[in-house]
Every structure is written in structure tokens, then in C-alpha cells.
Amino acid sequence: MKKYRHSGLRFDFVSDKGYVQPMRRLGYRAFFLPLCTDPALFHPATSAEESGKFDLVFVGNSYRRQMDDMLALAPEFVDSLAPFLGGIIACYLDDVEYDIEARITETMRSTALPRELSFEKACYIAKHAAGYFGRKRIVTALARRYPGFRVFGDAGWLRDLPPERVGSAGYYKTLAEVYRKARIAIDINRMVIRDGFTQRPFDILASGGFVLTSAKPVVGDFFSPDGPEQDIAVFRSERELFDRIDYYLSHDRERLAIAERGRQTVLSAHTYDHRVAAMFLLISQELAAVPSGAS
């Protein structure tokens, strides 16, 4: 929000509902719009050889470089956060609806900060550190539990995983192939994303893959996480994540049926064409509501 000053001449679309009201209070003309996919890039396998190579994958960076930068900026402060971060990460992994951002903000307000560190910067560092350590914990736990698990991301993962568990995938070249070859693709969100989507669920489903994502409220607004029309799978805790993986790895027919329904949902409502149309419709409605002669 600091990068662009608010302006009545601009519409700001954000992919996390949690940012809309805070931005509006600051004067931004903010609206929620989920991310989406390009079915020309992400589509099902064209041959049997392209599918079923990996039991389980996660695609995402380690954030190790960013974490190293933060350690260099305020090493003693980051070290002092360790017990607090461990506690809130444990709370989140017991319940993914736990509000980590609010807890961090509350704690930073009552913490004696280093002189060179503003409140906003302290919150930023704490949020990103929580995201880094939380993602690392889930990924390493998956690697220990599932021999067929692979992570595709940056070289930072090599500090925590053996080379045979780590791969790379170019977004416009090989990422769709990775999703097509996975029986289950995990969507591990940054913990401070309270009510928004990453790109992963849309790309995975468009590729014909099966996605398992955290149970944020927004998921139910756009998908069916349970019932006869289920088109996505969700987990509410680390324990439930493991349980869902175990279940769907042993129920191929059910998993494939959910993935196909998810693909149809994405193609019918979540492509770039749909998002552009939604933007123009919303903008036209907002402009039509402006009184004549108003600036």
C-alpha cells in the first residue's frame, strides 16, 4: 500500500479479501478479485506418459534468501522472535483460521523494538519470518512422512532437503507438466494470507490435477470443498493435511472425479477472460454511479 498512493482515478484489485477494508479506510478504491489461470498453458495431459510420476508435490519458493536478508537487517530482533513465532506457528497448524497477522500486530505493539526498527518494519519482518518457518515446517514434515513427495522451487530448499527431493519448474514451460504428473498437489499458503487464493489452485485444476489447500473462508465462495459436487479438497490443520493425503492417495477414483469437477469449475469461471470481464463490469458500474459533473 505504500508503493502506490491512493487515487480516485485508479481502481485497486487485490487477491486477498482481508486487504480490502484496510485499504478503503486509507482512501484506496479497493476491490477483491481472485487470481485465475490460462487454460492455453495449463491443461490436462495429452498422453498417459505425462501423468502419475509423483505421489505428492508442492510448488513454491523457500523464502530462504528473503529470510537471510532479514537476519542481516536485524539479527538480534529476529532471534528474539523465535519463541513467539514457534508458538503462533503451532497455533496455526492446529487451526489454519488462526489469525497470525492480528497476533503479530498485537505483540509488536507491546514489544520494545530496536531503535532503528519501526513498528511497520517489525511487523513486516515477523510476518515474513512466520511464513518462512511455517512453510519450512510443513514441507520438511511432508518430506519425512512421504517418500514420494517432491518440492519444486528455489535452491533454498537444498538446505533442508536432499537434492533428489528438489526440482525446478518454469511457469511458462514446465510447471503444467509438474502438476499433470502429480497425484496430489499441495497449496501451502503464506500464513498471513487470511482470505485469498494463490495462483496454484487455478493452475493445478486447469491442468487436470488434484489440489489440497488450506480451508480459508474464500474457498467455499468459489468452490465446493465437500458434498456430492466437491471440486477441491481442504485441510484445517497439519494433522488433517496428513489424513487427507493418506485418504486420497488410496482413493484414486474419488480423487480423479474431484479433480475433473474442479477443472470444469475453473474453465467455467476462473480464466483470465473471466477476470478481465469482471474488472470492466465492476469499473463500469462504479463509474455509472458517479453523479454527473463529479470529479
- Asked if the structure places residue 5 within a domain, the reply is no
pLDDT of amino acid 269: 97
How would residue 5 be classed by pLDDT, with cut points 50, 70 and 90? confident
The residue ranking higher by pLDDT, 229 or 290, is 229
Residue 142, domain CATH: 3.40.50.2000
Give phi and psi for 96, each to the nearest 5: -70, -5
Stretch (H or E) spanning 85:
helix 82-94
pLDDT tens-digit map of 24-47: 999 999 999 999 999 999 999 877
Label residues 129-138 b or e (16+ Cβ within 10 Å = b): bbbbbbbbbb
**What is the span of the domain harbouring residue 57?**
48-274
- Asked if the structure places residue 281 within a domain, the reply is no
| Angstrom distance (rounded) from CA 139 to CA 136 | 5
- Asked if the structure places residue 6 within a domain, the reply is no
- Asked if the structure places residue 167 within a domain, the reply is yes
Which three cell numbers mark 46? Answer: 495429452
pLDDT of amino acid 73: 81
How would residue 292 be classed by pLDDT, with cut points 50, 70 and 90? low
The residue ranking higher by pLDDT, 190 or 245, is 245
pLDDT tens-digit map of 99-111: 898 999 999 999 9
Lowest-confidence range among 50-54, 83-87, 154-158? 50-54
Q: Give the count of domains, the chain.
A: 1
- Asked if the structure places residue 287 within a domain, the reply is no
pLDDT of amino acid 214: 94
Give phi and psi for 253, each to the nearest 5: -65, -45
- Displacement of CA 58 from its chain's centroid (Å): 11
- Asked if the structure places residue 16 within a domain, the reply is no
The residue ranking higher by pLDDT, 97 or 58, is 58
Which three cell numbers mark 262? Answer: 474442479
DSSP 271: B
| Angstrom distance (rounded) from CA 205 to CA 231 | 9
| Angstrom distance (rounded) from CA 130 to CA 88 | 8
- Is the C-alpha dihedral spanning 172, 173, 176, 179 positive or negative? negative
The residue ranking higher by pLDDT, 79 or 231, is 231
pLDDT of amino acid 50: 61
Contacts of 182 (CB under 8 A, 6+ apart): 53, 54, 55, 56, 57, 209, 210
* Average pLDDT value for the chain: 91
| Angstrom distance (rounded) from CA 19 to CA 27 | 12
DSSP 196: B
- Asked if the structure places residue 25 within a domain, the reply is no
Stretch (H or E) spanning 7:
none
What is the pTM for the complete model shown?
0.91
**Averaged pLDDT for residues 246-273:** 97
**Averaged pLDDT for residues 212-221:** 93
- Asked if the structure places residue 96 within a domain, the reply is yes
